[in-house]
Amino acid sequence: MIPPLSPPSQSRPKQRSGLTARGARVALAALALLGPLTAACTNDSSSTKADDTRGDASSTSSGSSTATTAPQAGKPVEFTSGDFYAVPDPLPTGGHGTLLRFQEVTPSPIEGAKTFRIMYLSRSLAGDNIAVTGTALVPTVPAGPDGRRMLTIAHGTTGIADECAPSKEPGSEILLMSGPMSGGWLVAMSDYEGLGTPGRHPYLVGPSEGRSVIDAILAARSLPGADAGDQLAIAGYSQGGHGALWANEVAADWAPEVNVVGTFAGAPATELDVILAAAPNIPALSGFAFMMVAGFKEAYPDADLSTLLTPAGEEALDRVDKGCVGDVMSSFSDAGDEPLIRADGPASPEWKKLTTDSNPGSVVTADPVLIIHSEADDVVPVALSAMLNDRMCRIGQAVERRVVDRGGHGAAAPSI
């Protein structure tokens, strides 16, 4: 969850996650140090992955609604003209992480790398093949004998409308990827399910984010010159911190062919049940809360909105589709006299379970996790990552949480 860094009145605010270009380099350096991490809590058996009782987190759903006449995905297509984001109809069949098409962005906004828009296959929580878009960087320096190390980045909140996909403005979020280029890393950043492609983005639905983030780097391995090895680092900030943690949790089952060596989560949006419960009393949270509700309704169509939202709230829900994060926050900034979220709605059994199930930190992973948060964060309260850290420690996850004493929401990354 991250506000625009430009005024909310802008119709199309630049989308930055708070992880600055320098912060991305520092986060990468932090990941390099995770191997010998002396964590706040460690687990001697951290090489084993705990069972995930939340069901959808890392298991593959059976069945698909893809038409039987759909062609098998073959060699990825270099896209040179037309609407890159128009999904093929019928959608080709293939495994998740299959690269469908790519388009080189020229001139590349990143020195020392070729920049590509990518479209690839992923899988919805219903088990259907879906198309997801994103951005990838392939360094121009040759790969080493063991192949390139890989980094997949989970981006911060941009909104949930298609126009908010970061790959549509590769000069903004893509700048976060500049740090790894000097080291020859192959880098990918998913737009996430539903951003740039059909359907609403399942905002803060953990399994959806995790799959999209992992599948982006799997797809990037098929780009010209990728020459990928098997070592993967995962990083994200704010919503992206949430997505990075979920990508780490699903990776062992979703992509056993890669070796996750470390995960960085800056100011992660977590404890979603707590955030939603606070929303009726904190108008500033309304925009985020409504994007969350819309996203969960997209992922879980049977969820009952009437137990959570008032009639006025249900009527207001479509505002989330009108513009990107700055516009959404602005549209909900005036709470008015009529409540939009029922006072007891977030505590209803259905919505309490949905939001709790998308909290990260219930699966032990083989790689260590680094969480960094600012004490003065006014967007994602620092107490939320403390709750996350405590939960991870209780199950035996190797994790270190660092709290910095200065700056706001975006301060944690560059202060490492």
- The residues spanned by each domain of the chain are 21-271+359-404, 272-355
Q: What is the pLDDT of residues 341-360, one digit of tens each?
A: 999 999 999 999 999 999 99
Confidence at residue 264, expressed as pLDDT on a 0 to 100 scale: 95
Confidence at residue 177, expressed as pLDDT on a 0 to 100 scale: 65
Confidence at residue 335, expressed as pLDDT on a 0 to 100 scale: 63
Confidence at residue 363, expressed as pLDDT on a 0 to 100 scale: 96
Share of the chain above pLDDT 70, in %: 78
In CATH, the number for domain 272-355 is 1.10.260
Contacts of 207 (CB under 8 A, 6+ apart): 54, 56, 57, 58, 125, 246, 250, 358
In CATH, the number for domain 21-271+359-404 is 3.40.50.1820
Confidence at residue 20, expressed as pLDDT on a 0 to 100 scale: 39
Q: Within the chain, which residues score under 70 in pLDDT?
A: 1-40, 42-74, 170-179, 182, 335, 412-416
CB neighbours of residue 45 within 10 Å = 9
Query: Model-level pTM?
Result: 0.85
Confidence at residue 72, expressed as pLDDT on a 0 to 100 scale: 63
Q: Whole-angstrom Cα distance, residue 240 to residue 354?
A: 19
Closest by CA to 408, choosing from 379, 371, 367, 387, is 379
Distances (CA, A) of 57 to 98, 210, 357, 358: 20, 8, 9, 8
